[in-house]
Amino acid sequence: MKNIPLITLIAITIACSNNQNAQLSKQENVAKSQEKPNYLFQATYAQDFSMGNPDLVVKFQNLLKNCQEKRFDNLSNYFTDDVLWSLPDGNRIEGKDSVVNFLTKFWSSSTVKDYSSAVHFSVKTKDGDEWVLIWDSQIVNDVGVRYQEAVQFEDEKISFINTFTKPIIK
């Protein structure tokens, strides 16, 4: 019976010590996450990003939904006049009218099934450039395709799109 208070005291000491260590560990993790990383290779464009405007993600999703539902009447509202789209095959489409014509022609003759969004998020560079990054997949005309796109916005309009695709292999 004399050992019960001693065991209780040891248990309380250990519990308090573990809690204190957990708090210190959490503080260390927060401090470490705020440190600038020492990258081996320096980015040529930007390497300091923060989370961006989530409304731009919704804007891009609305564009995609309009295309999938073959509603093309307002597509030009999404793009700057000098928008540039870098396609997966290396070709580029330049200018709002050309991009809208390409989208209208492609989606008019396409059937989409099983659209799935893996990632959609917005980032902002320290210089104020805003991007939406997208990783998604869908079946277009019976061909499964995975997409990775980087979409730059200027004044809430799309000014640049860079698209990478690969087939879904089952």
Least confident span in 77-81, 131-135, 145-149, 166-170? 166-170
Determine the pLDDT at residue 38: 80
- The pTM is what? 0.76
Contact assessment for residue 147 and residue 137, using Cβ atoms and an 8 Å cutoff = yes
E strand spans, the chain: 49-51, 79-86, 92-94, 112-125, 130-140, 143-154, 157-167
Terminal CA-to-CA distance of the chain, rounded, Å?
Answer: 67
pLDDT at 94 over 80: yes
pLDDT in tens, 32-55: 656 777 878 877 777 778 899 999
Contact assessment for residue 86 and residue 92, using Cβ atoms and an 8 Å cutoff = yes
Contact assessment for residue 135 and residue 118, using Cβ atoms and an 8 Å cutoff = yes
Average pLDDT, the chain: 86
Per-residue pLDDT band at 1 (split at 50, 70, 90): low
Residue with tokens 């309380």: 12
> How many other C-beta atoms can be found within 10 angstroms of the C-beta atom of residue 28?
10
Amino acid (1-letter code) at residue 26:
K
Determine the pLDDT at residue 170: 74
pLDDT at 19 over 60: no
pLDDT in tens, 114-159: 999 999 999 999 889 999 999 999 999 999 999 999 999 999 999 9
User: What percent of the chain stands above pLDDT 70?
Assistant: 80
Determine the pLDDT at residue 40: 82
Determine the pLDDT at residue 131: 96
For residue 30 the two structure tokens come to: 């927060």
Determine the pLDDT at residue 14: 61
Per-residue pLDDT band at 163 (split at 50, 70, 90): very high
Least confident span in 42-46, 61-65, 107-111? 42-46
